[in-house]
Amino acid sequence: MRPSTDPLPAVSTTTPNVARMYDYYLGGKDNYAVDRERAEQMIATVPLVRETARANRAFLGRAVRFLAGEAGIDQFLDIGAGLPTQNNVHQVAERVNPASRVMYVDNDSMVLVHARALLATNARTGVIQGDVRNPVHIVRHPEVRGLLDLSRPVAVMLVSLMHFIRDEDNPYGLVASLMAAVPSGSCLVLSHVERQREYEDAVAASYARASAPVVARPVEEIGRFFDGMDLVYPGLVNVRQWRPDEEVSPVDPDVRFFGAIGVKR
C-alpha cells in the first residue's frame, strides 16, 4: 500500500457497527459484543441473513473475476469496502491480472485500521477514509488520483452499500456523480437488499441506532441505479443467479439481495 498521511482514526465499541455486524454474519472475528448482540437479534428475526451475506460476498468475488478477466478492467474503486475478509477485491483481481490496482474506501474507522495492516506491503492497493455521500472528496482525493488513472475505465464498486443511504441523501444522484467522474467503458457493480414487507420492521429495529440505518428498496428502485447504462448479462438478478459457478434453482426465493454490473456508454 502507498504510505498515507491520514492519522489512524478512533474506533467506537459502544455503537453497533454495520461493517462489524456484516463481518459477524460472514463468520469473521473483527467484531465486538455490541455488534454480535445486534447481529443475533437480526438473525433471530431474519434467519437467512447469514446466508444472504455470504451470497452477496460470493457475487462480489464472481463480479471481480469477470471484470478483471473477460471485461479487461484493471482498476477498481471499491466504496463501502468492508472489513478485510476472505477473497478481498485485490486478491481476486490479482489472481486474474497481477497488474490490477485497487483503491478501497470506507467511512468506518475500523475498516481503515484493518485494511492498512493487510495492505501494508502491496504497492498496487490503497485505502482511504471516505463517505459515498461525498463523492467529490473521493474522486478528487490525491491518493485515489495517485493510484488510479481516471481517464481509463474503472470498476466502481458499491456492493451492499447503497441500502445504508437514505432517500434524503440522494442515493441516485451520488451514484450518477461517481459515474460522471469515470470514462465510457467504466463499470458499476452494485448490490442491494430488496424490501420485503414481512421483514421490514425487524430489519429497521436491528439497525436502529447502529452506525447506519438499512433502507431496503424494491427491485425497480434498485434497477434505477443503472439508468442510462448497459447491463452485463444476466442483468439485475438475485445475487445467487448472477453467473453462478454452480447451478442454482431459478425459483429459489430465499436470498432477497439483487445485484448487477452496468457499463457506462
Which residues of the chain form contacts with ligand SAM (CB under 6 A)?
18-19, 22, 56-57, 60, 79-82, 106-108, 111, 131-133, 159-161, 164, 212
**What is the SS3 string spanning 104-153?**
EEECCHHHHHHHHHHHCCCCCEEEEECCCCCHHHHHHCHHHHHHCCCCCC
91 alpha-carbon distance from chain centroid: 15
Interatomic CA distance for residues 74 and 55, integer angstroms: 24
Q: Please identify, using beta-carbon distances, which residue of 103 and 159 lies nearer to ligand SAM.
A: 159
Residue found under cell 493487510: 118
Q: How far is the CB of 230 from ligand SAM (least distance, A)?
A: 23
Interatomic CA distance for residues 8 and 19, integer angstroms: 17
Q: Please identify, using beta-carbon distances, which residue of 8 and 183 lies nearer to ligand SAM.
A: 8
Q: Please identify, using beta-carbon distances, which residue of 16 and 265 lies nearer to ligand SAM.
A: 16
Interatomic CA distance for residues 148 and 102, integer angstroms: 8
Q: Please identify, using beta-carbon distances, which residue of 56 and 186 lies nearer to ligand SAM.
A: 56
CB atoms within 10 A of CB 235: 14
Q: Please identify, using beta-carbon distances, which residue of 107 and 186 lies nearer to ligand SAM.
A: 107
